[in-house]
Amino acid sequence: MGLPMARRLLAAGFPVVATRHHDPHAPAILAAAGGGIVETPVALAPLVDVVVLMLPSSREVEAVVTGEGGLEAAMAPEQVLVDMGTSDPASTRRLAARLAARGVSLVDAPVSGGVKGATDGTLVIMAGGPPEVVARVRPILDAVGRHVVHAGPTGAGHSLKLVNNLVALTTMAVLVEAIRLARAAGLALPVVVEALQHGSADSAMLRTLAQRLQAQRFDPGFRIRLAHKDLALAEQLGDALGVRLPLGTGARQLLQAAIADGLGDLDTSALASDSPARQGLNRPRGPAPHPG
């Protein structure tokens, strides 16, 4: 999602400099759109006022910021780091305290809307951090999203994103069960979707799932392995706060089974496919790996 977000920033008139990417094509695409490219995070920091990260988990964020050759060593007072991925709120707060000792502010600003939302500039952004710092980076957030919610202090944005994904992914899981039941009952998918869309079971997740299934397109908009990571983080947050999430646990186990079957890099909509590979996904597969 980082590349389309960077292109939205360029289109809005922001100068954008990026580091080398695991996708070898991304830097060339960004450069062609007018962006700058540097080799390492530490080379990036002196060139900008605001550093935006769009990484899979806290593990990668911590590596890029505090690891060898990381951003921390090169960031100066008054700079702002914006973490727009879905990270662990506790890790976010620890990292913010560490950066604050250098005079650097951190805003957690995860997004909802997927690759399409990033491309269209229609993301919903959930920001956490001091109001004055969130206000400072608000023009950047407005350039990539259609709605920004200030969730509260540092870490609140990531907590709110876990709440959002708990709702979205448990909805997805029950839709997968419903589609399986409908197939077993001999109901045609278009008939099921039409009925649900015009009744109380309608949802954005249903519409997205139906479009994907109709086109048989399971290229990743939201990878199964990342969805699993998010639900594991939601469970971790619930455990810390004494809140049980049995529906979230069930959805996480569904995703875990898909990962065990080698499907982790497909879109979550693949869970509702009638492919034979889906037949083993009703069984839970042991404890969740560390969510990162």
Tell me the catalytic residues: 161
Task: Give the burial class of 22: count Cβ atoms within 10 A of its Cβ; 0-12 exposed, 13-18 middle, 19 or more buried.
Answer: exposed
Q: Residue 182's closest CA among 202, 171, 196?
A: 196
Task: Give the burial class of 191: count Cβ atoms within 10 A of its Cβ; 0-12 exposed, 13-18 middle, 19 or more buried.
Answer: exposed
Task: Give the burial class of 175: count Cβ atoms within 10 A of its Cβ; 0-12 exposed, 13-18 middle, 19 or more buried.
Answer: buried
- Which alpha helices (DSSP H) does 125-280 contain, by range? 131-144, 156-184, 189-197, 204-215, 224-241, 246-260
Q: How many CA atoms lie within 13 A of 292 on its CB side?
A: 18
Q: Residue 108's closest CA among 139, 141, 78, 77?
A: 141
User: How large is the greatest C-alpha to C-alpha distance in the chain, in angstroms?
Assistant: 64
One-letter amino acid of 15: P
Q: What is the DSSP letter of 151?
A: E
